[in-house]
Structure 1
Amino acid sequence: MPSNTDLQENNEDSLKDFNNDIIKFPPELENSISEILQANDPIDNNDFNPMEYLNQMLPNEHALASIDETTKRLQHKMRQLEGEIREITRLQTNDGQQGNEEVSEAKRAIEELFKRIREIKDKATQSEIMVQEITKDIKSLDYAKRHLTISITALKRLQMLVTAVDQLKIMAHMKQYKETSQLLQAVLQLASYFKTYKSIKQIAELSISIVTFQNELKKQIFEDFESSFASDGSLTVQTAPLGDACLVIDIMGQDVKNQLVNWYCERQLREYKRIFRGSEEIASLDNTSRRFSWIKRILKNFDEEHVDIFPLHWNVSEVLCVKFCEITREDLVKTLSRTGNELDVKTLLKNLQLTLEFENQLLKRFAYREKPPRGSNTENSSTTYDFNKSISISFEPYLGLYIDAEDKNIAEMILTYRTEATPDDDNSSVLQSSTELFLYYKETLVNCSKLSTRKPFYDLYVTFAKWLRAYANDVLIWRLPKEERRAMTRDELKLICLILNTADYCYNTISQLEDKIKEKIEEEYKEKIYLDSERENFLNVVAASIKSLVKGIETCYEPSLTAMTKLPWSNLESVGDQSEYVTLFHNTLRLCVVSVHKDITNNRYFRSFCDKFVESFVSKIINNLSKCKPISEVGAEQMLLDIHALKTFILEMPTMGMENPAPPPTTFTKIVNKGIGKIETILKMILTPHDPSEGLVENYILLIGDKNINNFQKILELKGLKKNEQQQLTEQFQQRVADDTTLLENSNILSSITLSQFITPSLPTSFPTLFSNPSLSSNNSNNFTTSTIGSNLADKSAANKFNESVRKIMAGGWRRTDSNKKEDEK
């Protein structure tokens, strides 16, 4: 038999299965079901737990004795529940049958409703037929009334038209043009009503007679105008009849009006064409002003005598000027083509200026026509004409003479700029020639834009670009001091700075010039306007100026490098204070840099100058080492001390001469450290003893890091080793680097060293001065001998000296004496 534990486990598994089989509803739905059922039985609760329920029914082991009774009670409960379920199912079935009966009843009601609607629709159709039968006779009468009304109206209008035509003919025959205009307008309006009746013979004949009469009336009015104006355009009758006749012409339409206006303009300009086309001498450019005087007299006569003839909206005076401009333009084109080879720019510009002034006068005279008044009838107003370039465009193909003249003027200016004097005052930061050139460009642009903004204006742009390049190359770069062996003077340094500032000014101003040209030139040429090449030229001038500054300062501190080569670097016994050539270099550098910093206006270019100077200085020092060979280990230690002092001075360059100097920029510091680091690397190699040889080779690989045998030999020669010693070390070096793939083929550290014949140095008695500076001369006039060098390391052995040097180098600096500190503070 199973134990109690096994029974309990089986019960628990059954309960778990029971719980899993229970359908779970959302909490909201279960709460709603509980409210509807309102049951007190624990089985009906949402959170019914069978285990708890059994524990309540069988609280202890004594209750197990009555398990049969409990089972009977549960079975009775089950039968009771089954009965309730059957009753509820029956009720739901009865409710479903009742619902089906209600649906059937609704369908019958809908069918009855459709039937009634169909009956109503049939009755409505019958009613409509009855109404149509009743109103059939009324509709016929209504149609007859409408047609009768239209017929009576047509007959009345036809009678009015016939009567108006008869009166029109009478008034036209009597030349009563004011009344004729009113009758003609009425006739034309009535005739438009009968356009759909032209199939009727009588109406068609009447329409033809009206058209014929209009042509006769038009001919009569034109004959009146012919007889009223003399051959020279003067008026011989009163203006009132002609003014009334224009009212008739205005009603006849735009084409007839244009014919009359064109006739009037031809009559007024007939004499003008006869005179100015009859002789080449009168048609010459010298008589251009007479042409404009002629039309001004015609316009004055029109304003005084003829203005009352024509309606204002005809704009006869404007059409007259348009005809004059067309004739004049054609004449000038022929004249210019005939005298083009003999034409001089002075005559061309004079007549072109007269023409432009006349066009401006016409634009002012007819300015009211540019914008029609608000609410005006634009259909009755003639076309608005643009007098801009209406005559002057004939001069445009010949404006190349003007561009050539400007080209010659700028060429002469550029030629004088090559000998321009350097300004003495400190207020001038650029060469005066640059401001003069761009001012002339500005004035020329304004003048040329008045003459033309098309091809000649584009040609002027090409001329400007050409001379901008010439100014950059043939003036600015040409004026840079040539490379010479002598030290550069203060005036020469200032001139270089002025050229640099001028190039910067031109670079920025060219952008403004380009925008101004694009603003004025015609749209079709705008895409061709770009001055990038010219801007690039001035950037090249800036680069050349910086290079020239660096070269100039190189010539200034060259005496200090010469003094460096004359020191006995192979015979120094101990390391002392910084050498005197370092002090000379510092004083020279300070004078030059302060002057350059003051004269360069753009600090960005001064920073670039400092960067380029560091590159040049490092290369000069490295190359100068070959002139100092042989260099002993003590000499290399002294050089390291001097190079550290030079590095300190160079780091001061960006802030030299400033009252409150700031730390040097990080990028500049990196450039200095990188450059000076090359020199220090070479000196560290020279400082390395050649015995043992393995140490020298390994140190070379560590510091230089290449396998180039020539570079290795440069170190050996700088150390002053003999040929047999060099050969032994070279062979060992080749064996060491033969299979090493991690090394470079050639390091750039030693690339600038060019070894030359060793010359025994002789000690100078004094050093040259810069710019004849008394203070500098007095500071550097003391003799420099080896007796001034300290002897604090004289008693050390070679190995101890090497170890001590390496320790100091790796520590990052040297111990400075009190005199060094005082010099730095100064």
Structure 2
Amino acid sequence: MKSTTGTERKPPAPPIEKGVRVIIPPLSSATTTVALSRNLTQLLDAFDTYVSNRRSSGTHPDPIDFINQHYSRESLLVAQLPEIRDAISERMNRLDDRISNALQRQSESAEATQRHVQDAKVNVASLEKRIRQVQTKASQSEKTVREITKDMKRLDCAKRHLQRTITTLKRLHMLIHAVEGLRQSCLLQPHPDYKSASHLVDATRLLLKHFASYTHKVEPLRLLSNKVDDLQGELKFRLVRGFRIIGFGVEKTQEFERKKSNFKSLVDPEEDPFWQVENESCDGSSEGHETKEIELPPMMTPDTMSGGILLIDAIGKEARIEFMTGVVQDYLVEYSKIYKPVKGQPKEKARVSSFMAQPDASEEDVKPEFALEFVEKRFLWFQTLLTEIQQKFPTVFPPYWNLEYHLTKNFLRRTHGHLLALFNGPTKDSDANNATILLKTLQKTIIFEKDVSSALQREYGVKFREAKNKDTKENAMNAGPNSRGRSSVNKKTPTKNIEDQSDANSDDGRAPTLQEPVDPLLGVASSAFDKYMRPYIDLEEMSMDEQLRSALEDRTVDTRGNYPVYTSSTKLFVYIKGSITRCTALTKGNTFYLLHKAFKDSLRKYSRVLSSKLPPPLPQKSVGPLNMPPVPFANKQLQDTTPAQIASYRVPTGEEVTVCHVIGTCEYCAETVEALEDLIRDTVDGTFKSKIDMMATQEAFHEITAKCIRILVSGMENRLEEPLKTMSSTNWAVFAEVGEESDYVRAMHKEIQPFISTARGLIPKSYFQNFCDKFALGFTTTYYDTIVRLKAVSEPGSQQLLLDVYNLKTLILKLPVLEKSPVSTSTARKATGSTIAPAMYTKMVQKQFKKIEFLLKMTGTPINLLVDVFKDQWHGGTVHDLQQVMSLKGIQRGQQAKLFEKFGLDPVQARKGAAANVTSATIVSEKFQAVQDQASRVDMSQMKQRVSDFRNAFR
């Protein structure tokens, strides 16, 4: 199709997807605008794109803006209006045609859809009708089948009930037959057939399960169940009697049966041949009467007893526990009779060597069988008991019963109770406070626990359970208080013990036959000693105190290490290590914890022993921080931080070696205490691990070390008092000629060099550096104060002092690296390490001497240049420093006021400061007097408490 202008129209552009913004390049050139305006199809497409873009960006389309973009002149638009109108009409016609075609297609498809819906409705109605017909036929068929099978269901129900009745009758017949067989087995002579009875017990138990719901409702079944219980009880009774006869004899068995027992017989004692033996034996003693001899049945053979064990297992776990409880109680009755502590028990003579004369035994020398000294007899008695049981019952008790283990554990528990009674209470043993007897008894008890555990594993196949999270002794300690009240025969103890090992039962009601691990025996009896080992702790403390007493005068030094230490310290730690070895071989519980406390106490005492070797402090003239009088022109920080006088020490010649040995010993002790703490924490029982703390003990040695450093610093400073007095007594105001270093400087060299070199070879490097830091700081401060206190210094005097300061500065800088002097003690080690002083130390010393040098340089400066030079060279110098310089120069007060004004001070303040004429010496004197006046009012105890609280806050 062609337009009215004769040009061929192009197909419409593809539609633009919604949401896509098309960016049209600007039509700025006239050529592009004219070309686009001539191609009306592209123009309309561009308008569509413009409208879409504006709407997608949320802006209302503006046709005028579009026209302005595409037509630069109105004449062009007017010229093309007809063509544009035709193009728009043509596009509208095409759109109308498309809409018409679409409506026609939609109408046709709607008619087809309606026809399809009508057809579907007809088909659904037909299907529904067919479904209803099928349902009706199904209901009729079901009714027909139900009528046909009505009689068959009745027959099936009758058959099912008949089969159940037949099965029940068969089971009832089997139950009656099994009960009768059990009765026949029980009546067999001379002993019941226990092996057959065990099978019948299994059968009756399984059969009775089927009648469990009818036992209480049907009387015959209840009687039958009771009869089974009675027969089982009779079998158990005769089995227990047979075991007792083999183990203890007839008379002992009768004695057991007279007492209250869990096993009862169905036979009347008057008809029981076992009891007729005793009656006939009593009647046979009468003269003139004939006695009828009644023979007892023969003893059970091992096979018969093994069958009895099978019977007990068949009856169930409770029967096994009851049987084992009775066996354990029977065999330990004699033990309680002999060794249970009783007040007023008959005593035996103490052991005396056959080579010694036999003295007359007094009442105090005789001790009972249950005494601590004879604890070994208990263990020999039990070993004999195990041997007898093994001989009388060979291969009878199966390994999974662990009978020997339960017997041993109950024996140890009773021994635990007996020992507690011997340690405390009315039956307390006279040797309970004897450390030697206690240690021997504890050692024998632990050895027995270890030996019997090994024997049970080796000979009886007992498997011990490994302790988890807790030590074996800790488990025993937890059981200790519970067994304290069971010092006598306790019927519940073995029962509870056996129940712990047999907590699993099989589904058929039989006792389990799988051998299970059991708790270890180590500590069951020996744990009784833990709370009563105080005599042993006292003995160890006495031994350590004896070493401490010998250490007071012992000054022997061990030089084998990096630095010399007192041999008394190494001996003390060797003894502590041996004590730990001895104690942990016996116990790691409460006793070891108490011993660790004794170690801490002895080590603190040893720290005081080391402190006693130090020189005593000199009498103090003033103590504590006091309020100083105000210093003119001094800043507030200087007045607030005036150092308080502390304790002063005088170290005689050679005594510095002793102080150094104390430092080395304290360092060795602190390091060893830390290792000792780790060793004890790793060894002690878990209950006490968190309580192990030896930090206070380490702190005690660190405090002694700090005190030694202060003593060395104070001692060195006191040795320099004479040279400083010489310096102060020199009249520097008339000093006229500068020469070599002054005499007081050479005297200081002679005092400092041997002292420092000796200390360097005897103490650790870190402590030596600390000593050098404190001494250098204290010396420079004292030297500065000494210069300030000089009355007047001439210019040559200041030059001489500068020379002296240079020599002293060189010496102080070399302190950390001074070599050991040739003449020194034999115990000093050769100092090794760097020959260069630490940078921080060098910086500190240079800073301190720099202030001294500035002071002396300013003192030698002419008065007319003093203020200018002071401002230029002494950076940070204060008015107070300037006043000190003027005091050293001896400047008059009027001239000082002028210099203060030149320095920049207010004239009023300048005149006030100059009028005060307060020299540095006057200031120091006033401070000293103020300290002296208030010294008596200082509460030393309160001050120490504050220091202690401050330290504790950082721990």
Task: Give the equivalent residue in structure 2 for 1:670.
Answer: 843
Secondary structure of the corresponding residue to residue 248 of structure 2:
coil
Q: Out of 495-504 and 516-525, give the one that drifted further.
A: 516-525
Q: Out of 608-617 and 425-434, give the one that drifted further.
A: 425-434
How far, CA to CA, are the matches of 2:226 and 2:440 in structure 1?
Answer: 59
Secondary structure of the corresponding residue to residue 418 of structure 1:
helix
How far, CA to CA, are the matches of 1:25 and 1:247 in structure 2?
Answer: 92
How far, CA to CA, are the matches of 1:457 and 1:252 in structure 2?
Answer: 48
Does structure 2 conserve the Cα–Cα contact (< 8 Å) formed by 1:233 and 1:268? no
The residue type equivalent to 2:793 in the other structure is: I
Task: Give the equivalent residue in structure 2 for 1:195.
Answer: 212
How far, CA to CA, are the matches of 1:534 and 1:112 in structure 2?
Answer: 105
Which one of the candidate residues 780, 784, 797 is aligned to 1:635? 797
Tell me by how many angstroms 1:295 deviates: 0.4
Task: Give the equivalent residue in structure 1 for 2:351.
Answer: none
Secondary structure of the corresponding residue to residue 631 of structure 1:
coil
Secondary structure of the corresponding residue to residue 565 of structure 2:
coil
1:184 has 2:184 as partner: no
Does structure 2 conserve the Cα–Cα contact (< 8 Å) formed by 1:322 and 1:385? no
1:348 has 2:415 as partner: no
Which one of the candidate residues 697, 707, 720 is aligned to 1:544? 707
User: Deviation per CA, 1:460-489, whole angstroms, max 9, x where unpaired?
Assistant: 2222222222222x1222222446897754
Secondary structure of the corresponding residue to residue 878 of structure 2:
coil
1:204 has 2:225 as partner: no
List aligned pairs for 1:480-491, cutoff 5 A: 480-482=614-616, 488-489=652-653
1:283 has 2:370 as partner: yes
Structure 1 residues 86 and 332, CA, compared in 2 at 3 Å: closer, same or farther?
Answer: same
Structure 1 residues 404 and 80, CA, compared in 2 at 3 Å: closer, same or farther?
Answer: same
Tell me by how many angstroms 1:555 deviates: 4.9
How far, CA to CA, are the matches of 1:325 and 1:748 in structure 2?
Answer: 89
Task: Give the equivalent residue in structure 2 for 1:331.
Answer: 418
Task: Give the equivalent residue in structure 1 for 2:576.
Answer: 441
The residue type equivalent to 1:148 in the other structure is: L
Task: Give the equivalent residue in structure 1 for 2:682.
Answer: 519
Task: Give the equivalent residue in structure 2 for 1:421.
Answer: 555
Which one of the candidate residues 314, 317, 341 is aligned to 2:401? 314
How far, CA to CA, are the matches of 1:541 and 1:551 in structure 2?
Answer: 15
List aligned pairs for 1:102-117, cutoff 5 A: 104=114
Structure 1 residues 95 and 756, CA, compared in 2 at 3 Å: closer, same or farther?
Answer: closer
How far, CA to CA, are the matches of 1:326 and 1:397 in structure 2?
Answer: 16
Task: Give the equivalent residue in structure 1 for 2:175.
Answer: 161
Does structure 1 conserve the Cα–Cα contact (< 8 Å) formed by 2:464 and 2:517? no
User: Deviation per CA, 1:651-672, whole angstroms, max 9, x where unpaired?
Assistant: 2333334898565433223322
How far, CA to CA, are the matches of 1:703 and 1:636 in structure 2?
Answer: 21
User: Deviation per CA, 1:662-696, whole angstroms, max 9, x where unpaired?
Assistant: 65433223322333244335435644667899899
TM-score w.r.t. structure 2 length?
Answer: 0.65
More helix by share: 1
Structure 1 residues 204 and 678, CA, compared in 2 at 3 Å: closer, same or farther?
Answer: same
How far, CA to CA, are the matches of 2:119 and 2:838 in structure 1?
Answer: 100
The residue type equivalent to 1:570 in the other structure is: A
Task: Give the equivalent residue in structure 2 for 1:134.
Answer: 145
Does structure 2 conserve the Cα–Cα contact (< 8 Å) formed by 1:503 and 1:539? yes
Does structure 2 conserve the Cα–Cα contact (< 8 Å) formed by 1:414 and 1:471? yes
Structure 1 residues 363 and 749, CA, compared in 2 at 3 Å: closer, same or farther?
Answer: farther
The residue type equivalent to 1:665 in the other structure is: P
List aligned pairs for 1:58-69, cutoff 5 A: none
Structure 1 residues 169 and 614, CA, compared in 2 at 3 Å: closer, same or farther?
Answer: same
Task: Give the equivalent residue in structure 2 for 1:811.
Answer: none
How far, CA to CA, are the matches of 2:303 and 2:670 in structure 1?
Answer: 70
Which one of the candidate residues 57, 71, 76 is aligned to 2:86? 76
The residue type equivalent to 2:682 in the other structure is: E
How far, CA to CA, are the matches of 2:737 and 2:848 in structure 1?
Answer: 27
The residue type equivalent to 1:683 in the other structure is: L
Tell me by how many angstroms 1:639 deviates: 1.5
Structure 1 residues 704 and 289, CA, compared in 2 at 3 Å: closer, same or farther?
Answer: same
How far, CA to CA, are the matches of 1:40 and 1:662 in structure 2?
Answer: 100
The residue type equivalent to 2:614 in the other structure is: L
The residue type equivalent to 1:154 in the other structure is: T
List aligned pairs for 1:10-49, cutoff 5 A: 26=20, 41-43=41-43
Task: Give the equivalent residue in structure 1 for 2:539.
Answer: 405
Tell me by how many angstroms 1:715 deviates: 6.3
Tell me by how many angstroms 1:505 deviates: 2.4
Tell me by how many angstroms 1:399 deviates: 0.7
How far, CA to CA, are the matches of 1:108 and 1:479 in structure 2?
Answer: 123
Structure 1 residues 79 and 569, CA, compared in 2 at 3 Å: closer, same or farther?
Answer: same
Does structure 2 conserve the Cα–Cα contact (< 8 Å) formed by 1:685 and 1:703? no
Task: Give the equivalent residue in structure 1 for 2:591.
Answer: 456
Secondary structure of the corresponding residue to residue 229 of structure 1:
helix
Structure 1 residues 133 and 516, CA, compared in 2 at 3 Å: closer, same or farther?
Answer: farther
The residue type equivalent to 1:404 in the other structure is: D
1:497 has 2:587 as partner: no
**CA RMSD of the aligned region, Å?**
4.7
Give 5+ residue unaligned stretches, structure 2. 1-15, 25-38, 51-62, 254-297, 348-367, 467-501, 506-511, 619-648, 820-830, 913-917, 929-955
Secondary structure of the corresponding residue to residue 548 of structure 2:
helix
Q: Out of 649-658 and 637-646, give the one that drifted further.
A: 649-658
Task: Give the equivalent residue in structure 1 for 2:733.
Answer: 570
1:241 has 2:304 as partner: yes
Structure 1 residues 168 and 612, CA, compared in 2 at 3 Å: closer, same or farther?
Answer: same
Q: Out of 88-97 and 41-50, give the one that drifted further.
A: 41-50
Structure 1 residues 72 and 40, CA, compared in 2 at 3 Å: closer, same or farther?
Answer: closer
1:357 has 2:447 as partner: yes
How far, CA to CA, are the matches of 1:88 and 1:226 in structure 2?
Answer: 118
How far, CA to CA, are the matches of 1:688 and 1:532 in structure 2?
Answer: 58
How far, CA to CA, are the matches of 2:691 and 2:378 in structure 1?
Answer: 38
Task: Give the equivalent residue in structure 2 for 1:764.
Answer: none
Structure 1 residues 688 and 104, CA, compared in 2 at 3 Å: closer, same or farther?
Answer: farther
Does structure 1 conserve the Cα–Cα contact (< 8 Å) formed by 2:735 and 2:797? yes
The residue type equivalent to 2:315 in the other structure is: M
Tell me by how many angstroms 1:650 deviates: 2.0
Q: Out of 266-275 and 80-89, give the one that drifted further.
A: 266-275
Structure 1 residues 70 and 487, CA, compared in 2 at 3 Å: closer, same or farther?
Answer: closer
User: Deviation per CA, 1:307-344, whole angstroms, max 9, x where unpaired?
Assistant: 42222221111121122223222222222333456531
How far, CA to CA, are the matches of 1:447 and 1:477 in structure 2?
Answer: 31
How far, CA to CA, are the matches of 1:448 and 1:325 in structure 2?
Answer: 21
How far, CA to CA, are the matches of 1:717 and 1:739 in structure 2?
Answer: 15
Task: Give the equivalent residue in structure 1 for 2:5.
Answer: none
Does structure 1 conserve the Cα–Cα contact (< 8 Å) formed by 2:445 and 2:525? yes
The residue type equivalent to 1:549 in the other structure is: L
How far, CA to CA, are the matches of 2:166 and 2:322 in structure 1?
Answer: 40
The residue type equivalent to 2:20 in the other structure is: P
Task: Give the equivalent residue in structure 1 for 2:361.
Answer: none
How far, CA to CA, are the matches of 1:95 and 1:587 in structure 2?
Answer: 127
User: Deviation per CA, 1:434-454, whole angstroms, max 9, x where unpaired?
Assistant: 232223223323333344444
Tell me by how many angstroms 1:510 deviates: 2.2
Task: Give the equivalent residue in structure 2 for 1:223.
Answer: 241
How far, CA to CA, are the matches of 2:834 and 2:745 in structure 1?
Answer: 22
How far, CA to CA, are the matches of 1:522 and 1:440 in structure 2?
Answer: 22
Structure 1 residues 74 and 713, CA, compared in 2 at 3 Å: closer, same or farther?
Answer: closer
Does structure 2 conserve the Cα–Cα contact (< 8 Å) formed by 1:704 and 1:749? no
Q: Out of 644-653 and 561-570, give the one that drifted further.
A: 561-570
Secondary structure of the corresponding residue to residue 599 of structure 1:
coil
How far, CA to CA, are the matches of 1:444 and 1:335 in structure 2?
Answer: 26
Task: Give the equivalent residue in structure 1 for 2:602.
Answer: 467
Structure 1 residues 89 and 317, CA, compared in 2 at 3 Å: closer, same or farther?
Answer: same
Secondary structure of the corresponding residue to residue 570 of structure 1:
helix
1:87 has 2:97 as partner: yes
How far, CA to CA, are the matches of 2:164 and 2:785 in structure 1?
Answer: 119
How far, CA to CA, are the matches of 2:920 and 2:142 in structure 1?
Answer: 120
Q: Out of 419-428 and 504-513, give the one that drifted further.
A: 419-428
Give 5+ residue unaligned stretches, structure 1. 1-21, 31-38, 742-746, 758-826
The residue type equivalent to 1:268 in the other structure is: Y
Does structure 2 conserve the Cα–Cα contact (< 8 Å) formed by 1:622 and 1:753? no
Structure 1 residues 319 and 70, CA, compared in 2 at 3 Å: closer, same or farther?
Answer: closer
